[in-house]
Amino acid sequence: MMEKLGRKRLLMPFAALLAAGLAMTLVVYPMMNAKPKDLPLGVLSLDEGVETPQGTMNAGNLIAERIVDGDAAMGAPEGTSLDGDAASWTRYGSQAELDAALADHELYAAVIIPQGYTAAQAQAQLAAAQASSSQVAQLDAAQVGVAQTTQAPQLAADQAEPIRVVVDEGKNPMTAASVESAIQAMAEQAGLDARIERLNAPSLGGGSLAMFVQFTVLPTFILSVACSVSLFVATRAKRGTARSRRLQTAGVQLALAALLSCCVGFAVAGLVGGIAGLDIPVARTGLFLWLASFCLMAFFVGCLDVAVPLGALAILACFACGLATGNLPYEFLPTFWQDWLYPWVPQRWMADGVRSLYYLNGGAWNASCPTLVVYGIVGFAALAAASLAPRRNEGKRGEARASAEPALGGTLS
C-alpha cells in the first residue's frame, strides 16, 4: 500500500501532525475556555409576611424578586461562579413544584425562604430595639448595661430564621460545590444567614468523588480503545476471504469483545473501589462499565472492519470530542460543544451513568445505557456490513474459478 502512494508518502507525517494538532485542540479548548452560563437555579419564598400600619410587609418576596431580577443588592459578588450571565434563576410557586424539579435533577441548587421569615425578622428587630432602649434607661448600672448589650444580638440571632440553600451534589459535584460557595458569598454580601442542605451526598468512607467520576470514565474508554485495536489486528479477515469465513470472524470478534469488556469493566471498578479506598457499589459499577466498554468495542471494531480509515476516524473523534465532557457539565462547555458534541459523545453518557451509581444509588442499567447501546447497535450493523458486503477480490476470484472450469472440461474431453 505504501508503494502505491509514491512520493505522497512524504506527506503522511505532516498529515499525522495536523490530525494530532486538531485532536489536541478539541481536547484542550473546552477545558481552557470553561465558563458557566445559565446554570439552572431555583428560588422559593414561603414567607407569609406581616401586617403593619403601612400595609403588608413581605421580606421573603422582596429577596426572591431581587435574586431572580439580578438586583445589585442580591447579586453574586464579582469573581464567583454566579456573576453576570452565569446563573439562570427560576422562581417556584410552591414547595411541591420545587421538590419535583430537584427530584428530576433540573437544578444545581435552590434558595428557600422560610414561612415566617418576615415575622422572625420583625421580632428580632423589635427585641433588639427594646434591649437598646432598656440599656439607655439603665446607663447608671454599668454591669446591667453590659449584660444587656451582649444579650441583644443573641436574642436577635435566635429569632431570625435563616434561609435554606439546597444543593444537589448528584447533578455534578464540582459545579454543586462552586454554586454552594457562590450562594454563601451572595448571602453574606446581603447580610443574610444561610443554612446549607446537601442532596445526594454519598457516604464514601472518606474521600471525595469530585474527580473519581473522570478517573472511572477515562481509563474505561482508553482500555476499550486499546482492546478494540488489538482485537482488530489479531482477528481481521484477509482480502479475498469468503463471506462465511468473515461471518465467523465477526462472531469471534464479538465474543472476545464481551470477554475483554468484562475484564475492563470490573478491573476499573475494582481499582476505584479497592486501591482508591472509596465505598462505591463495585458490582453495579463493574456491570455498567462492562456494558459501556462492550458497546464501544463493538462500535470501534465494526468501523475498523468496514475500513481502517473509518475506524481510526471514529476513535479519534470520540476521544478528542468527548474527553472534556466526562467532567465538565453542559453549562460550562462552549456553544459548539453544547449543540453538536454533547448529545452524542460516549464519555458524557458514561459519566452520567457513573454519577448515577455513585451519587443517586442507581442501578447498573440507568438512563445513560440506551444511548450507549446505540453505539453497540451501530457496531453490530458495521460488523454485519463488513461481513456480508461483497469484496472486490472475492468477485474476481469467483470469475477466475468459473472461467477455469470450461477450460478444464475441454482438456479432459
pLDDT band of residue 393 (cuts 50, 70, 90) is low
Confidence check: pLDDT of 39 > 70: yes
Q: What is the pLDDT of residues 163-221, one digit of tens each?
A: 999 999 989 888 898 899 999 988 888 888 899 999 998 776 555 556 778 889 999 99
Q: Which range in 64-73, 157-166, 223-232, 331-340 is most confidently predicted, on average pLDDT? A: 223-232
State residue 142's pLDDT score.
Answer: 44
State residue 223's pLDDT score.
Answer: 97
**Residue percentage of the chain with pLDDT more than 90:** 46
State residue 130's pLDDT score.
Answer: 61
pLDDT band of residue 153 (cuts 50, 70, 90) is very low
Q: Which of 174, 168, 232 shows the shortest CA–CA distance to 196? A: 168
Average pLDDT over the chain, rounded to an integer: 82
State residue 156's pLDDT score.
Answer: 39
State residue 71's pLDDT score.
Answer: 64
State residue 232's pLDDT score.
Answer: 95
pLDDT band of residue 158 (cuts 50, 70, 90) is very low
pLDDT band of residue 239 (cuts 50, 70, 90) is confident
**In the predicted model, what is the mean pLDDT of residues 238-262?**
91
